[in-house]
Structure 1
Amino acid sequence: MSGIDIHHAHSLPMAKARKAVEQVAKKLAERFDVEYGWDGDTLNFARSGVDGKIALEPKQLHVTASLGFLLSAMKGPIEAEIRRVLSEKF
């Protein structure tokens, strides 16, 4: 199993950062049939072949995901897309 581990700094107030994370999650759900839900300040997401979370902290986001066998071959492009979206939103 392959993994993604990204730390991304932000300067948004927690409420605005949470809204931005929610927008990203909604796009993931629409595009990739990902299910998600909040547990405190952590957004958990999952679908077949992916299990991950976005931990919202005062000055950074911490994105972690475990990729199943088939998606592990796509780790580079998936990680690049996550970084692109984070740069765009934060």
Structure 2
Amino acid sequence: MINIIQEHNLEPAAARAAAEQVAEKLAREFDLTCNWQGDVLRFERSGVEGELTLAPRQAQMQIKLGFLYGAFAPAIQSKVEEKMRKVFGAA
């Protein structure tokens, strides 16, 4: 399980746009399907599922990797952390 928390100072609409940027990158790289359920962006494909939850001043990404993707967890976590830092900005 990958769990990333990124602080932000964005208004709700800007935070949602930032979350969509992260989701688009993940969708392209891992062929994921994404959909919003309130303030939670859920994504999945065979072997990967997770969600990005938006809260005031914080975005939290949780990713569950299946067996085949588990070996790549450190690289995936590093990429996602970097992208979240870029789009949500340093708090």
TM tier, smaller: over 0.9
Q: Indicate the RMSD between aligned Cα atoms, in angstroms.
A: 0.9
5+ residue gaps, structure 2 = none
Tell me by how many angstroms 1:20 deviates: 1.0
- Number of paired residues? 88
The one of 35, 38, 43 aligned to 1:37: 35
Separation in 1 of the partners of 2:28 and 2:72?
Answer: 19
Alpha-carbon distance, 1:31 to partner = 2.5
Aligned to 2:17: 19
Match of 2:56 in 1: 58
**C-alpha distance in 1 between matches for 2:7 and 2:28:** 26
**Per-residue Cα deviation, 1:56-88 (whole angstroms, up to 9, x for no partner):** 001101110110001111110000001000111
C-alpha distance in structure 1 between counterparts of 2:3 and 2:21, whole Å? 20
Task: Supply the distance in 1 between the matched residues of 2:77 and 2:21 (Cα, whole angstroms).
Answer: 18
Q: Name the aligned partner's letter for residue 66 of structure 2.
A: G
| Seq. identity, % | 42
Deviates more, 1:35-44 or 1:22-31: 22-31
Q: CA deviation at 1:27?
A: 2.2
Residue aligned with 2:36, SS? strand
Q: TM-score, normalised by structure 1?
A: 0.93
The one of 2, 5, 8 equivalent to 2:3 is 5
Aligned 1:51-90 pairs, distance under 5 A? 51-90=49-88
- TM-score, normalized by length of structure 2? 0.92
